[in-house]
């Protein structure tokens, strides 16, 4: 396949996770009677621009429009993160009631609500109908479309150029990363700022976070690859911060390459140098990942098999994409993990794609009195443990598989 950014032929393998169904294709009762489509799940690295990318799969568009069930507003950690982001941006860039803020992939408006409540004009862009409706219910204005140069042109023509754009956890999910990025260069006011948050490839590699790989996640990004993509598409990076979200993310600040005047912060060359030092711009950093992912899978399976042999009850928490990658890579089925609890009512009563583990309301865990709860979104382990503190008092232990098996 050719690189999604630079077009060069991509062949350096990072990991081959076998095959998996689309990670958001939750199964309703009727769909359990039918077949599921499984696709190869493999990540390759471009040796031209160092963009790590999921290999294209045939006919993906036929299957990847599954009903979207992720609502960011369900996570307390994410809400707090969003509120702090808005506070920090308002302070740093002096946003006022005369400013205009646009969020791309606004989801249910969990972040934009904090802009709106300050009386700052804002607009959400969100192509998914169910989440866009939830954002409108908060009183937010939403354009229900995919973002790119075309939409940015129309917004600017309508006088909606942005002083600040936010794009959190979306850059890695867009198939056409060039058009998407160029859209921000178009949409920004001359001295506007675009911020992007995405999981950091460096952390994925260091902590063997292979479960963050799924088909809807097209790119695995570093500052090295993002800087190149931005430069090609009219944006210039001027600052970068490390965040604890999603197992370790970067927040990148960019301005228009043609009109931006902010000086480049020392954090930018520093992070580029660090990425180079760990081998991100050579083959070194990518070798050995497959073997480490397999070791995690084997440890996890050994734990589940031992628990079953000892007659223990094992359930899971968090019916999200991450969990599906791990469960399907490991071949786990309901005889090893009886059910998975999730707060999102849209998922309850359905089954996970592939593993077909039933999704239940969190309250059902109390009556099950499980010996172990496997926390699939390991990045919010502390939050989930606090939420399930009653179970801990009854003797339940909590398990995460990544970066190494932890039972506590
Ligand atoms: Zn490339």
Q: What is the CATH number of the domain that holds 352?
A: 3.40.50.720
pTM of the predicted structure, to 2 decimals: 0.93
Total number of domains constituting the chain: 3
Residues 174 and 228 both lie in one domain: yes
Last residue of a domain, one of 251, 269, 286: 286
From first to last of its 408 residues, the chain has per-residue pLDDT tens of 999 999 999 989 999 999 999 888 899 999 999 999 999 999 999 999 999 999 988 666 655 554 555 666 667 778 999 999 999 999 999 999 999 999 999 999 999 999 999 999 999 999 888 889 999 999 999 999 999 999 999 999 999 999 999 999 999 999 999 999 999 999 999 999 999 999 999 999 999 999 999 998 999 999 999 999 999 999 999 999 999 988 899 999 999 999 999 999 999 999 999 999 999 999 999 999 999 999 999 999 999 999 999 999 999 999 988 999 999 999 999 999 999 999 889 899 999 999 999 999 999 999 999 999 999 999 989 999 999 999 999 999 999 999 999 999
Q: How far is the CA of 229 from the centre of ligand 1 (A)?
A: 9
Q: How far is the CA of 7 from the centre of ligand 1 (A)?
A: 6
∠114-150-192 over CA atoms, to 5°? 45
Residues 179 and 326 both lie in one domain: no
Is 62 contained in some domain?
no
Q: How far is the CA of 99 from the centre of ligand 1 (A)?
A: 36
pLDDT at 66: 45
Q: How far is the CA of 177 from the centre of ligand 1 (A)?
A: 11
Domain that holds residue 36: 12-56
Q: How many CB atoms sit inside 10 A of residue 206's CB?
A: 13
Is residue 367 exposed (0-12), middle (13-18) or buried (19+ Cβ within 10 Å)? exposed
Q: How far is the CA of 355 from the centre of ligand 1 (A)?
A: 34
pLDDT at 23: 84
Q: How far is the CA of 269 from the centre of ligand 1 (A)?
A: 21
Is 264 contained in some domain?
yes
Q: How far is the CA of 46 from the centre of ligand 1 (A)?
A: 5
Q: How far is the CA of 195 from the centre of ligand 1 (A)?
A: 22
Q: How far is the CA of 224 from the centre of ligand 1 (A)?
A: 11
Q: How far is the CA of 391 from the centre of ligand 1 (A)?
A: 48
Residues 181 and 195 both lie in one domain: yes
Residues 225 and 362 both lie in one domain: no
Residues 282 and 336 both lie in one domain: no
Contact 36, 67 (CB under 8 A): no
Is 67 contained in some domain?
no
Q: How far is the CA of 228 from the centre of ligand 1 (A)?
A: 9
Is 204 contained in some domain?
yes
Closest CA to 209 of 15, 383, 51: 15
Q: How far is the CA of 235 from the centre of ligand 1 (A)?
A: 17
Q: How far is the CA of 9 from the centre of ligand 1 (A)?
A: 8
Q: How far is the CA of 50 from the centre of ligand 1 (A)?
A: 6
Is 6 contained in some domain?
no
Taking the C-alpha atoms of 219, 155, 146 and 182 in order, what is their torsion angle to the nearest 10 degrees? -20
Q: How far is the CA of 55 from the centre of ligand 1 (A)?
A: 13
Which residues neighbour 331 within 8 Å (Cβ) at sequence distance 6 or greater?
Answer: 301
Residues 118 and 256 both lie in one domain: yes
Q: How far is the CA of 282 from the centre of ligand 1 (A)?
A: 13
């Amino acid at each position: 396949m050719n690189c999604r950014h630079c077009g060069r032929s991509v062949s350096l393998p990072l990991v081959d996770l076998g095959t998996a169904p689309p990670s958001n294709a939750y199964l309703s009762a009727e769909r359990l009677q039918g077949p599921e489509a499984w696709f190869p799940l493999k990540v390759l690295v471009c040796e031209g621009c160092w963009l790590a990318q999921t290999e294209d799969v045939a006919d993906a568009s036929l299957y990847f429009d599954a009903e979207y069930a992720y609502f960011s507003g369900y996570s307390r950690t994410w809400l707090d993160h969003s509120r702090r982001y808005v506070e920090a941006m308002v302070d740093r860039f002096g946003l006022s009631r005369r400013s205009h803020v646009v969020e791309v992939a606004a989801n249910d408006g969990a972040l934009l609500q904090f802009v709106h409540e300050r009386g700052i004009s804002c607009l959400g862009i969100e192509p998914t109908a169910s989440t866009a409706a939830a954002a409108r219910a908060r009183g937010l204005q939403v354009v229900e479309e995919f973002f790119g140069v075309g939409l940015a042109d129309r917004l600017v023509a309508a006088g909606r150029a942005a002083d600040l754009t936010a794009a959190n956890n979306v850059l890695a999910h867009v198939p056409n990363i060039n058009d998407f990025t160029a859209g921000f260069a178009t949409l920004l006011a001359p001295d506007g700022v675009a911020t992007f948050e995405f999981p950091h490839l460096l952390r994925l590699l260091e902590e063997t976070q292979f479960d963050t790989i799924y088909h809807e996640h097209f790119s695995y990004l570093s500052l090295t690859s993002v800087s190149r993509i931005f430069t090609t598409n009219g944006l210039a990076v001027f600052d970068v911060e490390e965040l604890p979200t999603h197992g370790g993310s970067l927040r990148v600040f960019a301005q228009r390459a043609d009109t931006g005047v902010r000086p480049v912060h020392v954090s930018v060359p520093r992070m580029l140098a660090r990425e180079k030092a760990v081998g991100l711009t050579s083959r070194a950093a990518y070798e050995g990942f497959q073997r480490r992912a397999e070791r995690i899978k084997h440890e996890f399976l050994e734990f589940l098999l031992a628990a079953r042999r000892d007659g223990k009850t094992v359930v899971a928490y968090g019916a999200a994409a991450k969990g599906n990658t791990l469960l399907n890579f490991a071949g786990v089925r309901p005889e090893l993990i009886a059910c998975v609890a999730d707060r999102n009512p849209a998922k309850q009563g359905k089954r996970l794609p592939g593993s077909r583990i039933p999704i239940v309301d969190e309250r059902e865990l109390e009556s099950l009195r499980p010996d172990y709860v496997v926390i699939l979104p390991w990045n919010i382990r502390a939050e989930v443990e606090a939420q399930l503190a009653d179970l801990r008092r009854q003797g339940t232990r909590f398990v995460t598989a990544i970066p190494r098996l932890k039972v506590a």
